Amino acid sequence: MAIDVKKLVVHYVDKKDDDTQIHLRNDEMMINDKVAVFIEQLHHAYNGKPGKGFCAFSGEKNSIVASTMQSYRNNELGFWHMTEQASMVLKEELDKYAFNETGYLVFCHYQYVATDYMLIAMINIKEHYSMTSELDLAASRHLDISRMQLAARIDLTAWDTQADDNRYISFIKGRAGRKVADFFLDFLGCEEGIDPKQQSQVMLNAVEDYLSEQEFDKSEKDDLRKQVFDYCNDCVTTGEEANVSELSATLTKGDDNPFESFCKEQSYDLEESFPVDKKTVTSMVKFSGLGGGVSISFERKHLGERVTYNEATDTLVIKGIPPNLKDQLQRFMEQEQD
């Protein structure tokens, strides 16, 4: 699906120590093919970011960003002037925190699959090195899209039609140990709403309870888990929410006891649609763990067959070691014998 870019403005933010400087671009960017490709990359990179939070504008917080955005949408304020006022709010919030941030502040209004979005993102700079034809070292700078940590996207269509859901804004939660999430929520004037991890876990619990009541054999259950995971993974990739009705269609064989009815009868605290947390739903099809210098990961369907767990002795037995691992072990054993 093509992305239709409506408006784009990029400013430069430079905060060192306690001094935040905002270097404003003078006007909007001309929309062309380069811009379209850039925003498409930004859109997909944002969708692929794990661990997002979801929120909505709050009347109890700074409302400048929300009000200026609404004024822009009402044709009362130009897009550039909206970004100027929002950038000043960003400066005020950045001044409250000890961390430094340098990069390009992107404001983009675009449409994707009949949905209007406003993306606000801070893109850091990365040095790139190459060799010239004279074999000299050349350095250039480029936007490090894949590692963006400060970004939020407002679903403008949902803001109009589903404002009470309190999840029409998504944001990247940020790096551990930093108050990036708090900072961006304060900047936007938002309060966090639905919790994707909690909703994904409730969904997993409901799926497992449902499968345990059905007369499916192990292979059928594994196949259904994989189908549910594939559906959820597609939702993560496209940035869409998972829908209980669509999950029910994936899980239900016949009309005797559809999953959707099962959820309602058992009173699970599950929304009709919810954002998916990929790490949580991955546990449906894969076991993994890391600790004490050991990392283990295997598909759930192998438990009890290729992989057995003895709880009493706290041991795993693996039958059919992966060829590359087996080769490493064999070479190590030969070296030890020599």
Distance, CA of 296 to CA of 290 (rounded, Å)? 6
Most confident range (mean pLDDT) of 39-43, 139-143, 273-277, 301-305 is 39-43
Ordered alpha helix ranges (H), 28-179: 33-47, 64-73, 79-94, 156-161
Distance, CA of 278 to CA of 159 (rounded, Å)? 25
Q: Residue 176: what pLDDT?
A: 46
Written as six digits, the tokens of 271 are 């929304």
| pLDDT greater than 80 at residue 97 | no
Ordered alpha helix ranges (H), 189-274: 196-213, 218-238, 244-251, 259-265
The residues, any chain, with a CB within 8 Å of residue 105's CB and separated by 6 or more, are 10, 11, 12, 13, 22, 87, 90, 120, 121, 122
Name the least confident of 26-40, 61-75, 127-141.
127-141
Q: Residue 53: what pLDDT?
A: 83
The residues, any chain, with a CB within 8 Å of residue 329's CB and separated by 6 or more, are 321
The average confidence (pLDDT) of the chain is: 85
- For 289-301, the pLDDT digits (tens) are 888 788 888 777 8
Q: Residue 81: what pLDDT?
A: 96
Q: Residue 64: what pLDDT?
A: 92
Report the pLDDT averaged over residues 105-110: 96
Distance, CA of 100 to CA of 21 (rounded, Å)? 11
CA neighbor of 158 nearest in space, from 148, 169, 150: 169
- For 223-274, the pLDDT digits (tens) are 888 989 999 888 888 878 888 888 888 887 665 668 888 888 888 888 888 8
- For 144-189, the pLDDT digits (tens) are 898 888 899 999 999 999 888 788 998 887 654 445 567 778 889 9
- For 23-38, the pLDDT digits (tens) are 999 999 999 999 999 9
Q: What percent of the chain has pLDDT over 70?
A: 95
CA angle 117-273-158, nearest 5°?
Answer: 25
Q: Residue 96: what pLDDT?
A: 80
Distance, CA of 7 to CA of 86 (rounded, Å)? 15
Rg (CA), the chain: 24
Q: Residue 49: what pLDDT?
A: 84
pTM over 0.95, yes/no: no
